[in-house]
Amino acid sequence: MIIRILSEGQFDVPDSEVDKLNELDSALESAIDSGDDDAFRDALGQLLGRVRETGQPVALDALIPSDLVLPDPAATLAEVRDLLNDDGLIPG
């Protein structure tokens, strides 16, 4: 699955990571729901870190559509809240 992190680029993440990414996404949603900025920062950092850790960077000159788009690491709680849908940032 191709995941774009805004302001960083795309990563080719194995499909086997979806369950772990969903766990991290749930923690991010909980932090947003509680309005806890510290927990939000931590959860967003963990989610983006997992994508970077398990994914392979996609070449900058490659034209591959992204399956998912995740927020910039500097995004605010309010900005990410606006991006959420019923499934969070990661469907499933």
Name the maximum alpha-carbon separation found in the chain: 40
- Residue 48 CA neighbour count, 13 Å, CB half: 21
pLDDT tens per residue, range 10-65: 999 999 999 999 999 999 999 999 999 999 999 999 999 999 999 999 998 999 99
At residue 83 the predicted structure's pLDDT band, cuts being 50, 70 and 90, is confident
- The domain spans of the chain are 2-83
Q: Which of 8, 92, 1 is nearest to 44 (CA)?
A: 8
